[in-house]
A and B are shown apart, each in its own frame.
Chain A
Amino acid sequence: MTIDCKGEQLILSSDRAIYWQAKKMLIISDLHIGKSAHFRKSGIPVPDSINLTDLQRLTALVAEFNPETLLVTGDMFHNNINSDTNTFMHWRKSFAHLKVVLIKGNHDNLKNEDYDALGIDVYQKELLAAPFRFIHDKPSEVDEYYNISGHIHPGVIIYGKAKQQLKFPCFYFGSDYAILPAFSVFTGLKVLDSKQGDRFYAITPAKVITIKA
């Protein structure tokens, strides 16, 4: 689905990513590489195929849009280096031409040299690319930039008649900021409050659909 946001055309992919055609930029958030391995190290068994499928989806997206830049709005890595990071290293090598940019999130605790080794450009706080500001968590102050963020892992509930409901991950576009869905499948959902004029795009198994607030 393609939407208009501040005059820019954005493609919302059902693989939980935004493609900004004009800048040839693929935007995702909350990849949480290493989360499953971190759990395993702490004695909680989470299969590592999770990390693999996440990367496979990323491969498919890169193949589909052929972007120049992959932008991650935070929480790319979960806590520290582990076996899942190695898997990502292999992935990274097979896409050496791709520019990877990370805006740091609360879970991104790798050392600077590690990011260098992985070929990732790191921004501590935000990246400005008019009309957008890319940032991990939405700022409290409003200015001329429209914020595109992650962090929350947004979800939306669709209510039907006779008290029926369904819950999906979603893209959120509000008046001052947008929130990306978490890219990793090993994440929970937070159902968002809605205000007048908010736009929700639910990611259903088949496609992205618009939901009016």
Chain B
Amino acid sequence: MKLESSYGYKQIINWLKLNKKKPFKFQTDAWQYYAEGYSGLVNAPTGFGKTYSIFLAVVIDELNKRAEQETLAFKSKQKKNTTGLKLIWITPLRSLAKDLARAMREVCDELQLDWIVGVRNGDTPQSEKLRQKKQMPEVLIITPESMHLLLAQKSTFNYFDQLQCIVADEWHELLGSKRGVMAELAISRIKGLLIEQHPERLLRIWGISATIGNMEQAMDVLVPYTDLLKTIIKSDIRKKIVIKSILPDHIDMLPWAGHLGHKLASKLIPIINKSKTTLIFTNTRGQAELWYQTLLAQDENLAGLLAIHHGSIDYELRNWIEDALHSGVLKAVVCTSSLDLGVDFKPVDTVVQIGSPKGVARFLQRAGRSGHSPHETSKIYFLPTHALELVEAAAIKEAAKTQNIESREPIVMSFDTLIQYLVTLAVGDGFDDEKIFFEIKQTHAFRELLPQEWNWIMQFITTGGDSLTAYDEFSKVNKTTDGLWKVENRQIAMRHRLHIGTIVSDAMLKVKYLTGGYVGMIEESFISRMKPGSSFTLAGRVLEFVMVKEMMVLVRKSKLKQAISPSWMGGRMSLTANLGNLLRKKYNETLDKQHDDEELDFILPLFEQQAKVSHVPRSDEFLIELINTKDGYHFFAYPFEGRQVHEIMAALIAYRLGRLQPISFSIAMNDYGFELLSEQPIPLEESNIKELFSPTNLTDDIVASINATEMARRKFRDIACISGLVFQGYPGKYVANKHLQSSSSLFFNVFSDYDKHNLLLRQSYDEAFYQQIEEPRLAAALHRIQASKVIIMKTETYTPLCFPIKVDSLRDNMSSEELSQRIERMTAESEKKITSKKKKNDH
């Protein structure tokens, strides 16, 4: 029977007609492929009903099955609909779940389909979880973490008995992270469970993704299984986007660096006023807090109409804000990536991006938050936080036009995630190692896993480590009489369940009013620097710190109008290669005045100022600035390759300079360039520049130059948490266990000294090398520099280009001196005082 003439299809078309809607071609394509048993990936712009493409396909299938059963039942006089979980819908963000559930319930209600749509994530109340345990809803909207928690329960199989399809929504978001690996692993287990019991059944796996550079690969990661038919369904609809930069009246009003562009806040007010609802995106939670305060200070009429939304704000509050967004009560919301993804807030017609979004994909994603319905135009304003960001705005405009969108590299061989997954299974029903090895070998993340690596991992969770190192008395996962590997110690099981997940943050504390009522969460390291009586802002409120009690920060309302904002730690994003390329091109266009970008016209005076004190590099030039101040000798270079590449390049150059003479540097960088700072004159001349930046011997020099150990140590922090070596504090869930306190750094030392074969140690180095160093990109950059004209400028003062690096920098050290030499020299300078950093550890 053709799908179009099936009962379910007709029902859906009728229902859409009643709502005056017509399906898009990519939707009917998806329905068709689904009906034919395909798995795959749907790619369409936001606002065109990506959700319906797969959800309705499952509904059509169900309606058809029921129609078929009814005819059969008519004959056999029995009628029975099977209940139980039919569809698992994986979402990366909790805030998405509510909205999705609402949309899906609407469909079910109007089609009179007796399905229950359930939500399960960290915010789901315990009572709801218990209800689900008794009777699973037909549709379950879930995060990857909660999927693993489900697998950590007993008698899991019953849940998936009726499962038809698993959908990974916003797959592009999960793809490049360990959460994506978690999704891959959970899917492999559920598929395996289903095959064990019902080998005849077909489990479809679908992804829904925004446009990324590597769509094919994205599908292969999600659906690596050779027994499944798969396809990519790409919509030919292009979302219309208008991008506009907010320009100050004069270029001097924009800071060179660091001041977050608050001077432009007044320009935001009219935009907010003339729009229905505006989302204002910032890059960090700290910035969001600052902007919330700034906007209120600008226009008092906004009080009550302006809200703030980010990941550290209490769940109830976030919920209220999301509801208010739907109903259109709010005029504007200052938010972070917490509102990045596909939530459909109808009243939102304007989006503002504050500061560089660092990548094309993220910017377009955010733009898509406005004008959400089909054929509406998305409108996004770009508000630069420093002058040079205007060039980035012009670059992003061009990338949006040419659809020059970044790829997302999938994570492979993350042993930490695998270890966590295996213990999760052992905490649940237990696992058969041969079966699980077979399953994970089919996943994209672990298809290269070697038997000896598998053996090591099994030893790691059962005996503690390989036989070369003794691990007496180790106990975690044991083989039970039924031949399955299980965790029998209840304490270990409980601790593990509390720590499922791959997002590692600093210890967070809940913030609560003395009179009751939660405000949100804050990092322990921030609050440890506060004194009672001092004030800070959270969730847009000025709070006075009273005390910390039982892992709870108690506060009262402060009388102050303004206070410091907490700085939440968080990955700093690096400029992508795409954007870097475009940026250099835009520098040319600005100098040549060959463009139609108002941003570039606007920034010209700054370029002229830079040209006066130093030089503006064209895309075929490579600029170096040498400046001598009381801090020491500064060496600035501008490759425009993004923070991450600069970090490695800086270390490389420092190392090569160190071969000329023993010298110590401190290193700073931003997305445009890097700085080497030394107290001694830097042995740098025109004649040796090209040699210093040569791509020859690159690999060897990288290995010798970067402090690989330090980088790996940084990476090991997450790995130690994910693999269950150290435990992070949990807000409200603190398990007092002073005898088990330790730090990842301590484990890193211990394994380095006593257990060199440790795979987690190897993983930390691998992650450092592949994710941090990006050697191919670095090599390409060095080749480009070789072909460029080198321009060395000696200046008296900081220049417009170098200033942002001075201000906005992460510092690192690099030395070619012997440690002992260095210690001696540094102690000689001991007038520098020994300051303190409060850090809690085990004593």
Q: In the assembled complex, which residues on chain A have CB atoms less than 8 Å from the CB atom of B811? A: 163
**Are A163 and B837 touching (Cβ within 8 A)?**
no
**Are A43 and B474 touching (Cβ within 8 A)?**
yes
CA distance A17 to B470 in the complex (A): 28
User: With an 8 A cutoff between CB atoms, is B472 at the interface?
Assistant: yes
User: With an 8 A cutoff between CB atoms, is B20 at the interface?
Assistant: no
User: With an 8 A cutoff between CB atoms, is B842 at the interface?
Assistant: yes
**Are B746 and A186 touching (Cβ within 8 A)?**
yes
B816-843 to A contact mask, C-beta < 8 Å, 1/0? 0001101101110110111111011111
**Are B833 and A194 touching (Cβ within 8 A)?**
yes
CA distance A156 to B477 in the complex (A): 40
With a 10 A CB-CB cut-off, give which of A38, A163, A182 has the most chain B CB atoms. A163
B793 to chain A, nearest CB (A): 21
**Are B740 and A44 touching (Cβ within 8 A)?**
yes
User: With an 8 A cutoff between CB atoms, is B491 at the interface?
Assistant: yes
B199 to chain A, nearest CB (A): 35
User: With an 8 A cutoff between CB atoms, is A95 at the interface?
Assistant: no
Q: In the assembled complex, which residues on chain A have CB atoms less than 8 Å from the CB atom of B73? A: none
Nearest B residue to A84 via CB reads B472
Q: In the assembled complex, which residues on chain A have CB atoms less than 8 Å from the CB atom of B754? A: 47, 49-50, 53
Do A194 and B836 contact each other (CB < 8 Å), given the known contacts A83-B472, A162-B666, A204-B820? yes
CA distance A38 to B739 in the complex (A): 8
Q: In the assembled complex, which residues on chain B have CB atoms less than 8 Å from the CB atom of A212? A: 830
Q: In the assembled complex, which residues on chain A have CB atoms less than 8 Å from the CB atom of B477? A: 43
A144-184 to B contact mask, C-beta < 8 Å, 1/0? 00000001110011111111111000000000000000100
A72 to chain B, nearest CB (A): 14
User: With an 8 A cutoff between CB atoms, is A16 at the interface?
Assistant: no
Nearest A residue to B492 via CB reads A43
**Are A160 and B465 touching (Cβ within 8 A)?**
no
User: With an 8 A cutoff between CB atoms, is B253 at the interface?
Assistant: no
User: With an 8 A cutoff between CB atoms, is B632 at the interface?
Assistant: yes
Do A43 and B843 contact each other (CB < 8 Å), given the known contacts A188-B742, A191-B836? no
**Are B750 and A46 touching (Cβ within 8 A)?**
yes
Residue of B473, B632, B725, B742 near A161 (CB, 8 A) is B632
**Are A39 and B822 touching (Cβ within 8 A)?**
no
User: With an 8 A cutoff between CB atoms, is A126 at the interface?
Assistant: no
**Are B471 and A47 touching (Cβ within 8 A)?**
yes
User: With an 8 A cutoff between CB atoms, is B743 at the interface?
Assistant: yes
Tally of contact residues, B, Cβ under 8 A: 62
With a 10 A CB-CB cut-off, give which of B664, B743, B820, B827 has the most chain A CB atoms. B827
CA distance A49 to B825 in the complex (A): 35
B471 to chain A, nearest CB (A): 5
CA distance A156 to B475 in the complex (A): 36
Q: In the assembled complex, which residues on chain B have CB atoms less than 8 Å from the CB atom of A189? A: 839, 841
Q: In the assembled complex, which residues on chain B have CB atoms less than 8 Å from the CB atom of A200? A: 834
Which among A55-63, A74-82, A116-124 touches the partner chain? A74-82
With a 10 A CB-CB cut-off, give which of B474, B491, B666, B825 has the most chain A CB atoms. B474
**Are A47 and B664 touching (Cβ within 8 A)?**
no
User: With an 8 A cutoff between CB atoms, is B610 at the interface?
Assistant: no
Q: In the assembled complex, which residues on chain A have CB atoms less than 8 Å from the CB atom of B470? A: 47-49
**Are A47 and B465 touching (Cβ within 8 A)?**
yes
**Are A159 and B813 touching (Cβ within 8 A)?**
no
Nearest B residue to A170 via CB reads B834
Do A162 and B746 contact each other (CB < 8 Å), given the known contacts A38-B739, A152-B843? no
B543 to chain A, nearest CB (A): 27
Main secondary structure of the interface of A (DSSP, over half): loop
User: With an 8 A cutoff between CB atoms, is B518 at the interface?
Assistant: no
A184-206 to B contact mask, C-beta < 8 Å, 1/0? 01111111111000001010111
Tally of contact residues, A, Cβ under 8 A: 59
User: With an 8 A cutoff between CB atoms, is A99 at the interface?
Assistant: no
**Are B678 and A162 touching (Cβ within 8 A)?**
yes
Do A43 and B739 contact each other (CB < 8 Å), given the known contacts A159-B832, A160-B822, A162-B679? no
Q: In the assembled complex, which residues on chain B have CB atoms less than 8 Å from the CB atom of A39? A: 740, 742
User: With an 8 A cutoff between CB atoms, is A92 at the interface?
Assistant: no
CA distance A156 to B823 in the complex (A): 12
Residue of B491, B739, B823, B839 near A158 (CB, 8 A) is B823
CA distance A81 to B471 in the complex (A): 16
B424 to chain A, nearest CB (A): 13
**Are B473 and A204 touching (Cβ within 8 A)?**
no
CA distance A119 to B746 in the complex (A): 31
CA distance A3 to B408 in the complex (A): 59
User: With an 8 A cutoff between CB atoms, is B665 at the interface?
Assistant: yes
Q: In the assembled complex, which residues on chain B have CB atoms less than 8 Å from the CB atom of A157? A: 834-835, 837
Q: Tell me which residues from 28 to 44 in chain A have a Cβ below 8 Å from any Cβ of chain B.
A: 30, 35, 37-44
Residue of B632, B740, B749, B841 near A190 (CB, 8 A) is B841
**Are A40 and B475 touching (Cβ within 8 A)?**
yes
Do A204 and B823 contact each other (CB < 8 Å), given the known contacts A38-B739, A160-B664, A160-B829? yes
A6 to chain B, nearest CB (A): 23
B529-548 to A contact mask, C-beta < 8 Å, 1/0? 00000000000000000000
Q: In the assembled complex, which residues on chain A have CB atoms less than 8 Å from the CB atom of B834? A: 156-159, 194, 200, 211, 213
**Are B743 and A41 touching (Cβ within 8 A)?**
no
**Are A37 and B473 touching (Cβ within 8 A)?**
yes
**Are B826 and A160 touching (Cβ within 8 A)?**
yes
B110 to chain A, nearest CB (A): 51
CA distance A200 to B665 in the complex (A): 26
Q: In the assembled complex, which residues on chain A have CB atoms less than 8 Å from the CB atom of B750? A: 46-47, 50, 185-186
User: With an 8 A cutoff between CB atoms, is B9 at the interface?
Assistant: no
User: With an 8 A cutoff between CB atoms, is A131 at the interface?
Assistant: no
Q: In the assembled complex, which residues on chain B have CB atoms less than 8 Å from the CB atom of A40? A: 464, 471-475
**Are A45 and B464 touching (Cβ within 8 A)?**
yes
Do A45 and B819 contact each other (CB < 8 Å), given the known contacts A160-B829, A187-B842? no
Do A48 and B471 contact each other (CB < 8 Å), given the known contacts A163-B811, A187-B842? yes
CA distance A164 to B707 in the complex (A): 14
Do A48 and B826 contact each other (CB < 8 Å), given the known contacts A163-B677, A193-B836? no
CA distance A188 to B843 in the complex (A): 8
**Are A153 and B664 touching (Cβ within 8 A)?**
no
Residue of A43, A158, A182, A213 near B826 (CB, 8 A) is A158
Residue of A37, A162, A210, A213 near B472 (CB, 8 A) is A37
**Are B465 and A45 touching (Cβ within 8 A)?**
yes
CA distance A82 to B474 in the complex (A): 11
Residue of A53, A83, A162, A202 near B631 (CB, 8 A) is A162
**Are A82 and B830 touching (Cβ within 8 A)?**
no
**Are B472 and A48 touching (Cβ within 8 A)?**
yes
B404 to chain A, nearest CB (A): 38
Q: In the assembled complex, which residues on chain B have CB atoms less than 8 Å from the CB atom of A205? A: 819-820
Binding site for B on A (CB under 8 A): 30, 35, 37-50, 53, 75, 78-79, 82-83, 106-107, 151-153, 156-166, 182, 185-194, 200, 202, 204-206, 209-213
4 closest A-B pairs by beta carbon, nearest first, are A188-B841, A43-B476, A160-B826, A45-B464
A-B contact pairs, 23 of them (CB 8 A): A40-B464, A42-B492, A43-B489, A43-B492, A44-B725, A45-B471, A46-B750, A47-B471, A83-B473, A158-B827, A159-B832, A159-B834, A160-B829, A161-B679, A162-B666, A164-B815, A165-B813, A185-B749, A186-B742, A188-B841, A194-B834, A205-B820, A211-B830
- 16 additional A-B pairs beyond A75-B843, A210-B827, beta carbons within 8 Å, are A37-B472, A42-B740, A44-B725, A46-B471, A50-B750, A106-B843, A152-B843, A157-B837, A162-B665, A162-B666, A164-B813, A164-B822, A166-B823, A190-B840, A191-B839, A194-B833
